[in-house]
Amino acid sequence: MKATRMQAHIERIANENGIKIIASKGNRGWACREEKYIEIPTVKSPTTYALALHELGHCLGKRQSETRLKSEIGAWEWAVENALLWKPSMTKKMRRGLDSYVRKYTRVNYANDPTPAEIRLIEELCAASAHLW
C-alpha cells in the first residue's frame, strides 16, 4: 500500500472525528484528547502509519482514562483494529513503545508498576497483531 493512501486514511479519520493534525518536525507523535489534536510526522511508511493510528487511538480509543500504561495499550488496540494493513514492522514499533513504558515504570519504582494483567494485555495484543501479517 502506498504511503499516500495511508496518509489519506489518517486524514479521513481525523476529519470525520473533528481531530486536527499538526505536522511534527521529528519522528515522534503526541495526542491531546481534550483539545482534539494529534501531532504526527508525515506518513511515509507502515511504521509512521502505525504511529499516526496510535495517536488517533489516544483520541478515539478505549482505556484513555486509566493508568498511563493502559492508555498506551488502548491506543495501540485502537490502531490495530482500525489499520488498513498491519506489517511486522508495525508490531515491532508497537512492542518497542509498550516495552519502554514497562521499563520506565519498573526502573523508577513508579507507584503504578505494571500489573500482571497489563503485561498479559501487551502480550495478547502483540500476538493478535502478528496474525494480521
Give one word for 18, left, alpha or beta, with left for phi > 0 and alpha for psi -120 to 50. left
Give 74-107 pLDDT, tens digit per residue. 999 999 999 999 999 999 999 999 999 888 776 6
Q: What is the pTM of this model?
A: 0.90
Share of the chain above pLDDT 70, in %: 94
What is the predicted pLDDT for the residue at 103? 82
Cell triple for 61: 480509543
Query: Is residue 120 predicted with pLDDT exceeding 60?
Result: yes
What is the predicted pLDDT for the residue at 130? 80
- Whole-number Å distance between alpha carbons of 50 and 93: 8
Q: How many CB atoms are located within 10 Å of the residue 46 CB?
A: 19
pLDDT band at 110 (very low <50, low <70, confident <90, very high): low
pLDDT band at 54 (very low <50, low <70, confident <90, very high): very high
Query: Is residue 43 predicted with pLDDT exceeding 60?
Result: yes
List the alpha helices (DSSP H) in the chain: 3-16, 46-60, 68-82, 88-107, 116-130
For the chain, domains (ranges, CATH) are 3-130 (3.30.2010)
